[in-house]
Chain A
Amino acid sequence: MANYFNTLPLREQLNQLGVCEFMSNDEFADGVDALKGKKIVIVGCGAQGLNQGLNLRDSGLDVSYALRKEAIEEKRASWKNATDNNFNVGTYEELIPTADLVINLTPDKQHTSVINAVMPLMKQGATLSYSHGFNIVEEGMQVRKDITVIMVAPKSPGSEVRAEYLRGFGVPTLIAVHPENDPEGKGLDWAKAYCVGTGGHRAGVLRSSFVAEVKSDLMGEQTILCGLLQTGSILSFDKMIEKGIDPAYASKLVQYGVEVITEALKQGGVTGMMDRLSNPAKIKAFQVSEELKKIMRPLFQKHQDDIMSGEFSRVMMEDWANGDANLLKWRAETGETAFEKTPAGDMKIGEQEYFDNYTLMAAFIKSGVELAFETMVEAGIKPESAYYESLHETPLIANTIARKKLFEMNRVISDTAEYGCYLFDQACKPLLADFMKTVDTDLVGKNFNEGKDNAVDNQQLVEVNDAIRNHPVEEVGRVLRKAMTAMKAIKTA
């Protein structure tokens, strides 16, 4: 199989990368009608599989689960998940031939073998859905021409997809139709109906393409979302230890700091995050982030280039073929870092203290979000897509670090994201070695304002505020966040 993106002429590459439309509410007025009475078979019953299925059934749709024979015979967790909730469960042979819509919710790595097993069993004119485009775009999976291929990708863990649905809301979702497989022209209607069935239409839907989704998703997760959070956390912790800060305090500051700081990012963008710092700290963080951007830009560009050319997926798939040798080795190494092995202390750290004593992380996040966004947009990805895959997702990932540090983050994200995260981390640490020598405890570990008189130059502050507020990621972010919160909580009643 050849990399699909690389088979396209440049014009078509740019065309597909540029699919990006924030859909308005009235596009979903038909509800789940397109899928009413249709037979939906979900392949895989992990967190996404089970929770999406529960939502679709509660929306009045006919859902069953196809599992591998061994999973059924050995009563594995996926079989228990499905049968405990009274779903009909069967083998591929039993269920796939009856399906109008087959939803593939297995891990990336299994896609090729799952699709190869499922495709010959699918009936003429059926529809196949993915929640990630890797198999189609990077592996170049060729799907039978009579089959419609769509994507519905809720931008949250499976448990959130269920929780928000039952609260009467949903999670932001990305939908797409594969242009090579839309023989009847029904793809978009089916994707919209599926999206309504999971509640996504209430929270904001972005129409994208398989290509745009993959190329932006890979970039985001490797650089700002996972890679830089890992590098920044480890370097910050090591710096505090070097400078004699109490290890238990350092561990706690790093573990919970990213969550607290990115909560401000979630609500008010980079501007909102930076506004939580005192004026002198904000100016310093701005200067540091400019320096970080200069140092890291070539690395961000290399990641984007390797993603665009298919080099990243080629190397990763070699590791798949090699039994995940590198992935497992790097995972073990991460587990051995001092940060990972030092338990967080039980001292109380106030919410504002996380900003005041961890100014360095705000600078890391600002530089990473802006770089990822700028690099994606330069590569032809639309700003809205780039926003989702950089700023929007950062707090969701930061939340996993607060739970159980980097181990938890790497457990929760996909193996693909994890692999890319390690690649970034390994390249980024040496790149930042000289910079880190200049960092002292005022940036990480102690209050930045300690012993300073809090004075700033008016003109300088105006310039810095201006630069922060008018960055393109802030401009697009303001519009998208407004659209999403308007849906989430209408505070005018």
Chain B
Amino acid sequence: MAILNIQDLSVHYGLKTVIDNLSLTVKANEGWLIRGESGSGKTTLARAIAGLVKHLGCIEINFDKQSALPARTLFVENWYRFTNLEGDRNFYYQQRYNHQQKRDTVTVGRELELHGIENSLNTDSLNSLVTTFQYDKVLDEQLFEISSGEHKKLQLIKALWLSPQLLIIDQPYTGLDKDSRTHLNQLLNEYAAKGGTLIIISNDMELPECVHHLIELKNGKIVNSAYSVNEKFSISPFGGNTKGARSEAQKLLPSFLTNPPEYTSQELVYMKDIHVRYDEKYVLTDINWQVHAGERWLLQGHNGSGKSTLLSLITADHPQAYANDIRLFGVQRGGGESIWDIKKRTGLISPELHWYFDANATVSQSLASGFFDANGQYQRLRYAQKQQLEELLHFLNLYEVRDELLATQPLGKQRLALLGRTIIKNPQLLVLDEPCQGLDQQQTQYFNNLVDEISKNGVTIIYVGHFETQLPSCLTHKLVLEEGRVILRQTIGD
């Protein structure tokens, strides 16, 4: 029997048609993949099925009364939103690093416990999920303290623990390292074996075996579909053709970005015997690292290995910088410099910055806020700044949507806008912390080509990427962290 029956579904946002007269039938216990380029309507389709958006047409869901799984639909969003104990979502991306005795959110363990109580779930099955994802060590941490990869795992653990009859996951692999992806696929197969129906939204092709059906969306319509018995779909992986992306990147770089950045010191980062700890827990231990002008570093490590914390010391976002021996741009930290002096030399993009970005900012304001290192634009632009903004909007193909809210744009466009924010002032140092998290292969390729292009002016770069992700080709050095320590440091190409 069909668990999901969609007839003539249309969804409009204002005058824009996002889903266009779409029909689809999914039978119980099938596994489906929805793919398509950014803005093609994937997430909207999922949200419509979950009853989260107004739509025209018919969506019928029939649960199996005999099934042992709960008769429910669960939609796991790409982005995870949590609130503090007072129901507030007023967080800022540096909050992880500002330590205060007052506990603002619940612990991860408590969050899981509450989820279990709310849905009357059995604790035994939770333990095996926690073990599989190697999640034991984060259970005592506060929700706002954990890394973006750990947040993703929390979402997935909650979903798989509940195991509803219809499970829809938007970008399940975002931010997960390779081991975690393998574990996830194994767990998804187990879920299917119990009789669950799975819909995954992703452009990845490392899928669990239980996925046999594929549809591809474009402009809110199904433009391609395929079926496979043995995980080999007859159509090519999505975004395999990156020709389009290359020609985009060949657009002429705005002239202000071809000027070399004005270095104030050849030594940008100097760190000696760095330690960062919360109470008795060490997050970083004995870190020694120097970054010089023009070097382009790759920073790697598993989820929770301390990458973001290390970068927060460089972007002046971590209060413990004052207790460590750190020089930034040749100036000793704690020597009377303000964080704004440091930030004006640095451009930062990270998943956390994106999470907590000003929800009321337009695309254009988001880019412009890079001039002021603010989260949203708070100051008036000078003439030259307006010119730069305009050039950059054209270069990134964002000019058409410049007055739309950033938050309403597809993820790929949002990331591009935030990349624009980091380079708009042509800084000395670019800190790109997992800038392609959540983007598909084609978008990642395009983004990395841009980074390569920008790097030609001699800007210094620190780029965080997972071991197996595609990387820009301009990188010259590599630093690998494990449990807060440096385990490898090398020159790339040696």
Are chains A and B native binding partners rather than an unrelated pairing? Answer: yes
Q: Determine whether B456 belongs to the interface, using a CB cutoff of 8 Å to chain A.
A: no
B336 and A408 within 8 A (CB) = no
User: Which residues from 440 to 493 on chain A have a C-beta closer than 8 Å to any C-beta of chain B?
Assistant: 487-493
Q: Determine whether A261 belongs to the interface, using a CB cutoff of 8 Å to chain B.
A: no
Closest to B99 in A: A84
Closest to A402 in B: B87
Given contacts A36-B336, A403-B87, contact A493 B365 (CB under 8 A): yes
Please pick, from B86, B102, B338, B358, the residue contacting A167 in the complex, using a CB distance under 8 A: B358
Q: Determine whether A123 belongs to the interface, using a CB cutoff of 8 Å to chain B.
A: no
Q: Determine whether B369 belongs to the interface, using a CB cutoff of 8 Å to chain A.
A: yes
Contacts of B179 in A (CB 8 A): none
Residue of A37, A58, A59, A491 ringed by the most chain B CB atoms within 10 A: A58
Q: Determine whether A338 belongs to the interface, using a CB cutoff of 8 Å to chain B.
A: no
B360 and A489 within 8 A (CB) = yes
Please pick, from A54, A60, A163, A404, the residue contacting B319 in the complex, using a CB distance under 8 A: A54
User: Which residues from 349 to 371 on chain B have a C-beta closer than 8 Å to any C-beta of chain A?
Assistant: 358, 360-362, 364-365, 368-369
Closest to A58 in B: B339
Expressed in whole angstroms, the Cα–Cα distance for A489 and B406 within the complex equals 14
B376 and A167 within 8 A (CB) = yes
B86 and A404 within 8 A (CB) = yes
Contacts of B102 in A (CB 8 A): 47, 77
Question: What's the minimum C-beta distance from A460 to chain B, rounded to whole angstroms?
Answer: 36
Given contacts A60-B338, A403-B88, A493-B389, contact A86 B364 (CB under 8 A): no
Please pick, from B100, B365, B378, the residue contacting A202 in the complex, using a CB distance under 8 A: B378
Question: What's the minimum C-beta distance from A104 to chain B, rounded to whole angstroms?
Answer: 20
Expressed in whole angstroms, the Cα–Cα distance for A77 and B389 within the complex equals 46
> What per-residue 1/0 map shows which CB atoms of A395-429 lie under 8 Å from chain B?
00000001110001000000000000000000000
Contacts of B364 in A (CB 8 A): 493
B86 and A408 within 8 A (CB) = yes
Expressed in whole angstroms, the Cα–Cα distance for A409 and B475 within the complex equals 53
Closest to B365 in A: A493
Residue of A37, A162, A166, A403 ringed by the most chain B CB atoms within 10 A: A166
Expressed in whole angstroms, the Cα–Cα distance for A57 and B338 within the complex equals 8
Given contacts A168-B369, A493-B368, contact A81 B92 (CB under 8 A): no
Q: Determine whether A330 belongs to the interface, using a CB cutoff of 8 Å to chain B.
A: no
Expressed in whole angstroms, the Cα–Cα distance for A100 and B348 within the complex equals 36
Q: Determine whether B90 belongs to the interface, using a CB cutoff of 8 Å to chain A.
A: yes
Contacts of A167 in B (CB 8 A): 92, 358, 374-376
User: Which residues from 155 to 192 on chain A have a C-beta closer than 8 Å to any C-beta of chain B?
Assistant: 160, 162-163, 166-169
Given contacts A60-B338, A85-B99, A403-B87, contact A489 B378 (CB under 8 A): yes
Closest to B277 in A: A84
Contacts of B316 in A (CB 8 A): 58
Expressed in whole angstroms, the Cα–Cα distance for A168 and B421 within the complex equals 14
Given contacts A58-B338, A202-B378, contact A403 B86 (CB under 8 A): yes
Closest to B378 in A: A169
A163 and B90 within 8 A (CB) = yes
A489 and B101 within 8 A (CB) = no
A490 and B379 within 8 A (CB) = yes
> What per-residue 1/0 map shows which CB atoms of B284-327 lie under 8 Å from chain A?
00000000000000000000000000000000110110110000
Question: What's the minimum C-beta distance from B274 to chain A, rounded to whole angstroms?
Answer: 13
Place the interface of chain B in its size category.
35 or more
Expressed in whole angstroms, the Cα–Cα distance for A415 and B358 within the complex equals 34
Expressed in whole angstroms, the Cα–Cα distance for A169 and B378 within the complex equals 7
Q: Determine whether B24 belongs to the interface, using a CB cutoff of 8 Å to chain A.
A: no
Given contacts A81-B101, A85-B99, A163-B90, contact A489 B377 (CB under 8 A): yes
Expressed in whole angstroms, the Cα–Cα distance for A488 and B368 within the complex equals 14
Expressed in whole angstroms, the Cα–Cα distance for A323 and B376 within the complex equals 47
Expressed in whole angstroms, the Cα–Cα distance for A60 and B341 within the complex equals 9
Closest to A256 in B: B87
Expressed in whole angstroms, the Cα–Cα distance for A163 and B376 within the complex equals 13
Please pick, from B95, B98, B377, B389, the residue contacting A490 in the complex, using a CB distance under 8 A: B377
Closest to A490 in B: B380
> What per-residue 1/0 map shows which CB atoms of A55-73 lie under 8 Å from chain B?
0011111100000000000
Contacts of B94 in A (CB 8 A): 166
B92 and A488 within 8 A (CB) = no
Q: Determine whether B386 belongs to the interface, using a CB cutoff of 8 Å to chain A.
A: yes
Expressed in whole angstroms, the Cα–Cα distance for A403 and B89 within the complex equals 12
Question: What's the minimum C-beta distance from A457 to chain B, rounded to whole angstroms?
Answer: 36
B101 and A80 within 8 A (CB) = yes
Contacts of B373 in A (CB 8 A): 168
Q: Determine whether B372 belongs to the interface, using a CB cutoff of 8 Å to chain A.
A: yes
Q: Determine whether A118 belongs to the interface, using a CB cutoff of 8 Å to chain B.
A: no
B376 and A37 within 8 A (CB) = no
Expressed in whole angstroms, the Cα–Cα distance for A50 and B87 within the complex equals 23
> What per-residue 1/0 map shows which CB atoms of B326-353 lie under 8 Å from chain A?
0000000000111111000000000000
Contacts of B320 in A (CB 8 A): 85-86
Q: Determine whether A32 belongs to the interface, using a CB cutoff of 8 Å to chain B.
A: yes
Given contacts A163-B90, A168-B378, A493-B386, contact A37 B336 (CB under 8 A): yes
Question: What's the minimum C-beta distance from B271 to chain A, rounded to whole angstroms?
Answer: 16
B377 and A493 within 8 A (CB) = yes
Question: What's the minimum C-beta distance from A82 to chain B, rounded to whole angstroms?
Answer: 10
Question: What's the minimum C-beta distance from B399 to chain A, rounded to whole angstroms?
Answer: 13
> What per-residue 1/0 map shows which CB atoms of A79-114 lie under 8 Å from chain B?
011001110000000000000000000000000000
Contacts of B362 in A (CB 8 A): 491, 493
Contacts of A60 in B (CB 8 A): 336-338, 341
Expressed in whole angstroms, the Cα–Cα distance for A403 and B360 within the complex equals 23
Given contacts A488-B378, A489-B377, contact A59 B338 (CB under 8 A): yes
Question: What's the minimum C-beta distance from A386 to chain B, rounded to whole angstroms?
Answer: 27
Residue of A62, A84, A168 ringed by the most chain B CB atoms within 10 A: A168
Expressed in whole angstroms, the Cα–Cα distance for A449 and B485 within the complex equals 66
User: Which residues from 365 to 406 on chain B have a C-beta closer than 8 Å to any C-beta of chain A?
Assistant: 365, 368-369, 372-381, 386, 389
Expressed in whole angstroms, the Cα–Cα distance for A58 and B101 within the complex equals 20
Closest to A197 in B: B338
Please pick, from A32, A61, A163, A489, the residue contacting B92 in the complex, using a CB distance under 8 A: A163
Contacts of A54 in B (CB 8 A): 98, 319
Expressed in whole angstroms, the Cα–Cα distance for A77 and B336 within the complex equals 27
Contacts of A169 in B (CB 8 A): 374-376, 378
26 A-B pairs with CB atoms under 8 Å apart are: A37-B336, A54-B98, A59-B338, A59-B340, A60-B341, A61-B336, A62-B336, A77-B102, A80-B101, A84-B279, A86-B323, A163-B91, A167-B374, A168-B374, A168-B376, A168-B378, A403-B87, A408-B86, A490-B365, A490-B377, A490-B378, A490-B380, A493-B365, A493-B377, A493-B381, A493-B386
Binding site for B on A (CB under 8 A): 32, 36-37, 47, 50, 54, 57-62, 77, 80-81, 84-86, 160, 162-163, 166-169, 202, 402-404, 408, 487-493
Binding site for A on B (CB under 8 A): 86-88, 90-92, 94-95, 98-102, 278-279, 316-317, 319-320, 322-323, 336-341, 358, 360-362, 364-365, 368-369, 372-381, 386, 389
Given contacts A37-B336, A490-B378, 18 further A-B contacts (CB under 8 A): A54-B319, A57-B319, A61-B336, A77-B102, A81-B100, A86-B323, A162-B98, A163-B95, A166-B92, A168-B372, A168-B375, A488-B378, A489-B360, A489-B376, A489-B378, A490-B380, A493-B381, A493-B389
